[in-house]
Each structure stands twice: as C-alpha cells, then as structure tokens.
C-alpha cells in the first residue's frame, strides 16, 4: 500500500470510533510541524487540511530561513537566537531544500557600514555553533562586482552577511511525507466544520467534510490543535462564539522578475525603505524574488490578491537601487500572503506593533491554538504544541525527536543545476518512474525543464489532487512565471486526468479553475 496516497489515508479514518491522540487542523508549516513532532513521538495523529498542504501562507513566504535581522535591531535577542538555532537544524535536516545565502546590504552613507557590521556580527555570534558565516565589510568596488545591476551613484560600500533560503511549499510536501512515514494520517481537501464536546464542555473531536466527495465525518481525539494560520479565529468561534479575534492579518506581496535585473548569486537586502520596511531581492529558482509589503487586511482569504499600491511600492523601491528599474511589464508573477500575526487586544491596527513570536493558547475547552511565528521556527512550534498537548491531554510523556530527524528527501550537496534537485533522495525514483512510459521523460512545455513524469510522481507520491497543486506547490511555476503556468495547465490536466481516472469534464473544470486563480498572479493586460 502506498503510504502517500490520499486513498490509503482515507482508509485510516474509516473506523470513526477510534480516538486519536491528536487531531491537527491546518496543513501549513505550523500544522505539519506539529504532525511530524507528534507522530515521531509515537502519538496517533490525524491532520486535516481544507485545501492543499501549504495552500495558505506557507507557500507565499520570502523563502528565507532566518533569525530576523530586523528583530535583532528591535532588541528581541531570545527570539533571534531561537530562530538561528532552528535555521541551523533545518539546514541539517533538509539540505536538499535549504541552502546558505549571502545577503549584501549596500551603504549609501559613510556610517552605515560600521553600524551594520556590528549588528550582523552579533547576529552571527548568536547562532553559536550553527553559524552560517561572519559578516564582512565590502568596498564599493567589491559591492558592485558582486551585485552587478546595483546603482553606483552615492554608494560607499556594502556589508555581506549570511542567512538561509528554501522552497516553502516543497518543504511542506516533504514534511507531510515525513509525518506519514512516522505513522501520521494526513488528508488534504478535508475541512473541519465544527467541534465536538463532552457534557462537561471539554472537546472530544471534530466534524469534518471531505471536500472532494461532500461526505461528512465525526472524528474523535484527546487533543485538538488549531493550526489554521490567519483562520484561527474561525475555529476559536466554533469553540466559543463570542471569542474576540486573536489574529490581525497583514498582507505581504512579492514580485518575481528576471534575474537580469540583479544577475548575481548574492541577494540584496535594503534594511530601511521609505516607509521603514525591509526589502529583499533574492535569487530563487533562476528568477529574482522581490518583496515584501506589510498591509493590514480586514478579512483573511485563501487566495489573497496584491493591491496596486503594494506593487507600485515594490517597483518604486527596487527601481531606486537597480540600474535597470523594473516596470509592471517585467513582472513574471505576483503573489500575496497573509501573516498570521497575533493581534494586540487593545485594538491597535499598526502591524509593526504586533508580536512576531509564536503564541500558544489553551482554551477552557482544551483547544490548543498556535498563532504567529514564522516558517523558520515551525519545528520548535510543533514541539511546543505537542509538549502542551501531553500536559493538557494527559498523554504519556515521550521526548521530542525532531531536532535530529531528517526530513523526507534529505540529501546533502544537491546539484542545483539539475532542476530535479528539490526532490532530494527521491530523484532516482522519479527517473525510474519515467522508464515506465517514454513520454513521461518529455517536458510539459518547451520553455521549462519540468517533465511529464514529475506530474505523475506528484499525483502518486505527493498527494497532488488538482492542476493548481501541481503548478503552484509541487513545482513553483505559477510563482515563477504565471503566464507560462497558464500555458502548461491543459497538458497537466490531461496527464492528471489519465492518472486519476477522471473524465474530460474534470479536465476542463481544472483548467478553468486554474485560470481563475492564476490570472491574479499576472500583472499586465496580456491575459485575454
Ligand atoms: C509575505 C510573507 C513572507 C514571509 N516570509 C517568511 C520567510 O521568509 N521566512 C519565514 O520563516 N517565515 C516567513 N513568513 C511567515 C510564514 O510564512 C508563516 O509564519 C507560516 O507560513 C504560517 O504557517 P501556518 O501553518 O501557521 O499558516 P498557513 O500556512 O496559512 O496554514 C494554515 C492552514 O490551515 C488551513 N485551514 C484553515 N481553516 C481550516 C479548516 N476549517 N479545516 C482544515 N484546514 C483549515 C488553511 O487552508 C491553511 O492551509 C512570511 C509570511 C508572509 C505572509
């Protein structure tokens, strides 16, 4: 039986009289981290995700594995130290997806270099044994050599420092696989619709619906974990309808450009833009990822849309530093994500004042809710959730194992010139799969290396269920070049339909649904 098939996981919930140790609601970084932690400690674990794994914020990050230089400047030493430890562990446990990245801060005033060198040296010292390398001053000439494309006028020099970079949704998929290997049951397209309580008001389970079939379930558990990101308040309201909101969503937008705007292996970091935000321009999968913004948003959405003002802000700011100023026509893809920031209870709407650290809340009913945090610290957040579940649920205490647990696909020194590198230790299995059908060795589209066999692989082994799952999160084409992704959709739908035994109507529906989503990732009016 294939461990990673949705059908196999469905069989695991057929016996609805079973009481799980934990039911985790939400399949983003937080929920997946908790599932890996709980299952690897030996607890029976069920994770339910209403859409695809990482469909929410967890596929929309800046892709940094970092301690947060900005938080250091704000004096959050403990938070930075913890994140730097997690950065080191993640590089060790998922080296196929995480790499060291050098960031250059250009200095346009004489004192800037000294200020940043001191701060970034402290940043590195805080990483201790898990250091990624010491920050160093760069002359003006060195800065321009390393970052061709950077404006020379007024430049004094630069500072280079090191942090981590990764592929967020690929890591999510690999975490889902790790959790399943450790014995957890995971279901995507499975929405929690209500909470079940005992007569004493304590939670006893959830009601949930299989989005693909409409079938409803009642599932029992000792502990329920609310790991729904910006949607935590929906679950909290199921528990206590008059509960005040915990989360204040804040939108962050990224633009993806051609590498020619900054043809370098180094990333550019602007610590303070015109409105006090940090701006990154980071090489990612052969393109340049530029962002981000910080816009308070009233209501969370699974598919947030970039605002014109955010796009203009990023283009304007990038243009201040790049010789070739990018325009709307140059944007290959634009995507927005919502930070699940913990809201202050005094009603302030300034996102800068809202805590970036994670917060674990225990409701009277026993519901555990995790808010805030970041991708980098997902493992620690999972550990904290399970430690608390042991305490509140009276589960037999078992030690956390995830600090030393390799993540599915883990393989050191990936060959990043081979586009298959993201699959890590699965590469040979994908190549063997392609031997089954010679056509699977062919590319889906002449303009991209992605092969037909990878579509089949992700359907069989990574629980991909829709065209969007493939083009947005198993491969990152929607995020890298949205128009190309739209062109690829019909062929992906055809391959998936054959593999999943779906009819022509499904294929058509899938292409149309993908088009509706993908058009929000395209800026100019090229779309008909
Ligand atoms: C713009 C931006 C840039 C960022 N950059 C970085 C970065 O570079 N590095 C970093 O470390 N962090 C970064 N972060 C933070 C990081 O991405 C988030 O902290 C993290 O992804 C949050 O994960 P999550 O699992 O809590 O939420 P989500 O990923 O949103 O997951 C919650 C899931 O719950 C599901 N769900 C909701 N309701 C239900 C229900 N009723 N039933 C079942 N499922 C449900 C949703 O579908 C969703 O998939 C960034 C965040 C943003 C917004």
Check if 375 has its Cβ closer than 6 Å to any atom of ligand 1. Answer: yes
Q: Is the CB of 28 under 6 A from ligand 1?
A: yes
* Cα radius of gyration rounded to whole Å, the chain: 23
pLDDT at residue 394, as a whole number: 98
pLDDT score recorded for residue 357 = 81
Q: Which two tokens stand for residue 265?
A: 């292996």
Ligand 1 site, residue 48, Cβ cutoff 6 A: yes
- The 10 Å Cβ neighbour count of residue 323 is 13
Could you tell me the distance, in angstroms and rounded to a whole number, from the CA of residue 86 to the centre of ligand 1? 17
CA 462 to chain CA centroid, Å, is 16
Nearest-angstrom CA–CA distance, 415 and 423: 11
Mutate to test the pocket of ligand 1, among 35, 53, 58, 179 (most ligand atoms within 8 A of CB): 58
DSSP codes, 414-430: --TTSGGGGGGGGHHHH
pTM of the model: 0.97
Q: What is the CA 346 to chain-centroid distance, rounded?
A: 29
Both tokens of 484, joined, read: 């190309």
From 29, 63, 216, give the residue whose CB has the most ligand 1 atoms within 8 Å, as the site to mutate: 29
Per the rule left: phi > 0, alpha: psi between -120 and 50, beta: everything else, 28 is beta
479 Cα to the center of ligand 1, angstroms:
16
How far apart are alpha carbons 308 and 528 in whole angstroms? 20
Q: What is the dihedral of CA 511, 517, 518, 521, to 10 degrees?
A: 180
Measured in Å, residue 24 CA sits from the centre of ligand 1 at 14
pLDDT for 158: 96
* Beta-bridge partner residues of 290: 255, 281
Q: Please identify, by atom number, the ligand 1 atom nearest to the C-alpha of residue 62.
A: 8
What is the 501 CA–ligand 1 centroid distance (Å)?
32
Residue whose Cα lies nearest atom 9 of ligand 1: it is 64
What pLDDT, on a 0 to 100 scale, did the predictor assign at position 351? Answer: 46
Out of 168, 281, 375, 378, give the residue to mutate to test ligand 1, the one with the largest number of ligand atoms within 8 Å of its CB.
Answer: 375
3-state SS class at 521: helix
Query: Would you call 220 helix, strand, or coil by DSSP?
Result: strand
Ligand 1 pocket, 191 CB below 6 A? yes
Question: How confident is the model at residue 356, as a pLDDT?
Answer: 59
Pull the structure tokens for residue 457.
Answer: 């692989």
Q: Name the residue at shortest CA distance from atom 48 of ligand 1.
A: 56
Phi then psi dihedrals of residue 296, to 5 deg: -60, 135
What percentage of the chain's residues is helix, strand, coil (to nearest 5)? 40, 20, 35
> Which region, left, alpha or beta, applies to residue 350 given φ > 0 means left and ψ of -120 to 50 means alpha?
beta
91 backbone dihedrals φ, ψ, rounded to 5° = -65, -35
486-490 own/partner pairs: CB under 8 Å, 24+ apart: 486/514, 486/515, 486/518, 486/519, 486/522, 486/527, 487/445, 488/444, 488/445, 488/448, 488/450, 489/514, 489/515, 489/518
Q: At what angle do helices 378-393 and 29-41 cross, to 10 degrees?
A: 60
- Report the 10 Å Cβ neighbour count for 161: 23
**Nearest-atom index, ligand 1, CA of 375:** 11
- For residue 424, the model assigns a pLDDT of 98
Q: List the residue whose alpha carbon is closest to atom 1 of ligand 1.
A: 252
Per-residue pLDDT tens, the chain, 528 aa: give them. 788 999 999 999 999 999 999 999 999 999 999 999 999 999 999 999 999 999 999 999 999 999 988 888 888 899 999 999 999 999 999 999 999 999 999 998 877 778 889 999 999 999 999 999 999 999 999 999 999 999 999 999 999 999 999 999 999 999 999 999 999 999 999 999 999 999 999 999 999 999 999 999 999 999 999 999 999 999 999 999 998 898 989 999 999 999 999 999 999 999 988 778 889 999 999 999 999 999 999 999 999 999 999 999 999 999 999 999 999 999 999 999 999 876 666 544 444 434 558 899 999 999 999 998 999 999 999 999 999 999 999 999 999 999 999 999 999 999 999 999 999 999 999 999 999 999 999 999 999 999 999 999 999 999 999 999 999 999 999 999 999 999 999 999 999 999 999 999 999 999 999 999 999 999 975 554
Mutate to test the pocket of ligand 1, among 27, 55, 57, 59 (most ligand atoms within 8 A of CB): 57
Q: Are 132 and 445 in contact (CB under 8 A)?
A: no
Look at the chain and count its residues.
Answer: 528
Residue from 362, 424, 398 nearest 39 by CA: 398
The answer to whether residues 192 and 145 touch, using CB atoms and an 8 Å cutoff, is no
């Amino acid at each position: 039986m294939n461990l990673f098939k949705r059908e196999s996981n469905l069989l695991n919930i057929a016996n609805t009289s079973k009481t799980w140790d934990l039911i985790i609601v939400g399949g983003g970084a937080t929920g997946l981290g908790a599932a890996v932690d709980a299952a690897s400690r030996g607890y029976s674990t069920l994770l339910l995700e209403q859409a695809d794994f990482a469909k929410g914020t967890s596929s929309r990050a800046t892709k940094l594995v970092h301690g947060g230089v900005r938080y250091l400047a704000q004096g959050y030493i403990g938070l930075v130290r913890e994140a730097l430890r997690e950065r080191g562990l993640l590089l060790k446990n998922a080296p196929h997806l995480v790499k060291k990245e050098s960031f250059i801060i250009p200095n346009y005033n004489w004192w800037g270099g000294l200020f940043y060198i001191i701060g970034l040296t402290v940043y590195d010292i805080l990483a201790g044994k898990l250091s990624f390398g010491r920050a160093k001053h760069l002359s003006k000439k060195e800065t321009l050599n390393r970052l061709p494309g950077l404006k020379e006028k007024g430049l004094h020099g630069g500072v280079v420092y090191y942090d981590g970079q990764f592929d967020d949704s690929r890591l999510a998929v690999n975490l889902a696989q790790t959790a399943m290997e450790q014995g957890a049951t995971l279901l995507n397209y499975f929405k929690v619709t209500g909470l079940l309580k005992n007569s004493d008001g304590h939670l006893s389970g959830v009601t949930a619906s299989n989005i693909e079939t409409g079938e409803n379930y009642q599932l029992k558990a000792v502990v329920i974990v609310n790991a729904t990101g910006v949607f935590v308040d929906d679950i909290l309201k199921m528990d206590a309808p008059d509960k005040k909101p915990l989360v204040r969503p804040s939108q962050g937008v990224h633009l993806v450009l051609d590498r020619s705007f900054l043809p370098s292996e180094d990333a550019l970091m602007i610590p303070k833009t015109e409105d006090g935000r940090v701006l990154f321009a980071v090489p990612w999968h052969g393109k340049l990822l530029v962002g981000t913004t910080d816009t308070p948003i009233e209501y969370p959405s699974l598919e947030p849309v970039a605002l014109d003002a955010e796009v203009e802000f990023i283009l304007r700011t990038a243009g201040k530093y790049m010789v070739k100023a990018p325009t709307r026509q140059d944007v290959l893809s634009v995507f927005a994500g919502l930070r699940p920031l913990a809201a202050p209870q005094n009603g302030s709407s300034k996102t800068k004042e809202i805590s970036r650290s994670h917060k674990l809340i225990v409701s009277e009913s026993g519901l555990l809710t995790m808010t805030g945090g970041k991708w980098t610290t997902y493992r620690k957040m999972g550990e904290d959730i399970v430690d608390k579940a042991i305490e509140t649920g009276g589960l037999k205490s078992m030690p956390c194992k995830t600090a030393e647990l390799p993540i599915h696909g883990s393989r050191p020194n990936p060959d990043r010139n081979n586009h298959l590198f993201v699959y890590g230790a699965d590469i040979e299995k994908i190549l063997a799969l392609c031997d089954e059908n010679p056509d699977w060795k062919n590319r889906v589209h002449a303009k991209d290396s992605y092969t037909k066999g990878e579509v089949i692989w992700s359907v069989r082994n990574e629980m991909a269920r829709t065209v969007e799952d493939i083009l947005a999160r198993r491969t990152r084409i929607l995020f890298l070049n949205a128009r190309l992704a739209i062109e690829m959709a019909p062929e992906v739908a055809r391959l998936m339909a054959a593999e999943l035994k779906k009819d022509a109507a499904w294929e058509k529906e899938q292409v149309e649904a993908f088009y509706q989503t993908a058009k929000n990732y395209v800026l100019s009016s090229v779309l008909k």
